[in-house]
Amino acid sequence: MRRIGVLGGTFDPIHAGHLALASAALEAAGLEKVDLVPSFSPPHRPSHRPAAHWHRFAMVVLATTDRPRLLASDREIRRAGISYMLETLRSYREDDTPAVPLLILGLDAFAELPSWREPEALVAEFDLLVASRPGVRKEEVLQGLPAWLRRRISPLPELSQPPAGAGRPCGGRIALFDMPPYTVSATEVRERLARKETIKSLVPEAVASYIVKYDIYGGGYPATGE
């Protein structure tokens, strides 16, 4: 069965940290590809009003055009409604060519997982790959986890193998791994735009041009200038 990574997020906008995370996960878990899945409507109300989902999706498409194994997925947008990750992961079973999805998360998102919809079902049914993120302390996150979540953490190499025991489906394992640090966040990109500062090097060039061309975050910013 094909193993593919699923990286969900608001992608408001997609940035270099998302791309580095997807690429690092691809290699770390020996995945065939990684789907980047912009949410239609995030379950937790963000502190700001996100850009329209079609713009967030378009930016993911632009950011991944020259990366053959990273794909923009519109499955949460097509489903509409609140974007619950458990539903998204289960939806892969209905595909014409079913694949086994592995959920990719940064450590900050992982720390929030207990507040997601049916988190115990999610971690029982699917494998998770959790990457380090600058400014988020691994030890603190681990200490704050409920026992039912902590006890599923296993060494990284295990994730690229099927679970021990004949016929056991993938799922139920969580691996943590360290990726090269990228301090960028979407909040930083939006804040820089608001201050009319450059976002060069934080997002791919095509995304920076798109933000300016369609004035995604308001104001006609010199997003690619110095």
Binding region for ligand ATP (CB under 6 A): 9-12, 17-18, 21, 105-106, 108-109, 131, 133, 182, 184-187
The contacts of residue 63 (CB under 8 Å, 6+ apart) are 14, 18, 19, 203, 204, 206, 207
- CB 43 → ligand ATP: shortest distance, Å? 12
- CB 138 → ligand ATP: shortest distance, Å? 12
Core vs surface per residue 86-124: b (16+ CB within 10 A) or e: bbbbebbeeeeeebbbbbbbbbebbbebeeeeebeebbe
- CB 128 → ligand ATP: shortest distance, Å? 10
- CB 136 → ligand ATP: shortest distance, Å? 8
Please, which residue, 118 or 178, has the CB nearer to ligand ATP?
A: 178
Helix (H, G, I), strand (E, B) or coil at 175: strand
Core vs surface per residue 53-69: b (16+ CB within 10 A) or e: bebbbbbbbbbbeebee
Please, which residue, 55 or 133, has the CB nearer to ligand ATP?
A: 133
Which residue's Cβ lies closest to ligand ATP? 106
